[in-house]
Amino acid sequence: MAKLTRRDFLKSTALGVGAITLGAVLDACGQALPTEIRSTFTPLAATDLPPTSPPNPTNTLPAATESPPTPTNTPVIPPDLVVAHGGEPEELVRRAIAALGGMEKFVAKGANVIVKPNICVDYHTYEYAATTNPWVVGTLVKMCFESGAASVKVMDAPFGGTQKHAYEISGIREQVEAAGGEMAYMLAYRYVETDFPKAVVMKKNGVYDDILNADVLINVPIAKQHSSSRLTLGMKNLMGVVWNRSTLHMNLGQCIADLNSLIRPQLTIVDAIRILTANGPTGGSLGDVKKLDTIVASPDVVAVDSFAATFFGLKPEDLAYIVAGTTMGLGRSDLVNMKIEQISLGA
């Protein structure tokens, strides 16, 4: 066997180490070393290598060089409001909440969540736009559990008919229970007389105890015309959590704002899949229904209502409860200055 020179030894060692290193990297990623890499790899000749650094006879340290600046992660500021349109209810809800930072931003692991839809009557299916779309509600329940919620209860107190029948005919019970949530009945003895310390007119009322004690409240009204308040949206939807609703009608706009000064949902989703344009709040004619396939979402209930008002050709200042809520500092109605993200899922 021919004697191996030092030069040949170094070349073969370098080639072997290179192959071993490359194989180790690929093995760490769960990949075998491709044979074509082995067959096409050509080591550099000695003349192709960069010159080595000259010796440092004085044993002095090399001059310090300035370290590159450490990159900083600029925080992403979520929008004030998200409007998603042109898709199916579940996808619209998921995309809107994702744009706000995800459901985990609002629902922590182990949280007890209340979802408050609008289920005002017990004689219409969701097509008549008097009750919240059941797939919107069911999606919210699913997303809460995906974020680690311990429980999700859905409830409302309809003013027409029974809760049981209203839950069923609306289609909401079916979707909520399919998602693992509970349709909870609101019982008369569980309303608690409660002070409203920031209120202007309505200083106290009975408030349902589950609402007072929930870790998270998600408000999910349907957008519809109303004979008294012009529109029912997020702020007015909370009237369903108090016992004596008649007192609110003495000064409806301000009393709705007073209610919202105490009951502060972490998230409001306005269902504008179908909107009721006339004869609200109960409706009854499909001719009054307009299909928009739209969801509006924000942690700011005043902002959500301000935007949803535009579906009916109204401005925020046209609704007394929005004006009162803005004056009380409950949220924003200045749509021009908001960061609004529009998401289109349509073709």
Q: How confident is the model at residue 160 (pLDDT cuts 50, 70, 90)?
A: confident
**Mean model confidence pLDDT for the chain:** 84
User: Among candidates 309, 218, 304, 197, which has minimal Cα distance to 265?
Assistant: 218
pLDDT given for residue 248 in this prediction? 87
The pTM for the full model equals 0.79
Instruction: Identify which has the larger pLDDT, 322 or 19.
Output: 322
pLDDT given for residue 76 in this prediction? 79
Q: How confident is the model at residue 249 (pLDDT cuts 50, 70, 90)?
A: confident
Q: Is the predicted pLDDT of residue 46 greater than 90, yes or no?
A: no
Task: Flag the least confident range among 48-52, 177-181, 244-248, 316-320.
Answer: 48-52
Q: Which residue has the tokens 């349902």?
A: 208
pLDDT given for residue 70 in this prediction? 59
| Domain locations in the chain as residue ranges | 81-344
Phi-psi region of 230 (alpha: psi -120 to 50; beta: other; left: phi over 0): left
State how far the Cα of 138 lies from the Cα of 328, in Å rounded to an integer: 33
Q: Is the predicted pLDDT of residue 92 greater than 90, yes or no?
A: yes
Q: Which CATH number fits domain 81-344: 3.90.1150.10, 3.90.600.10, 3.40.50.11440, 3.40.50.300?
A: 3.40.50.11440
User: Among candidates 211, 124, 127, 223, which has minimal Cα distance to 168?
Assistant: 124
Per residue in 185-230, pLDDT (tens digit) is: 999 999 999 999 999 999 999 999 999 999 999 999 999 999 889 9
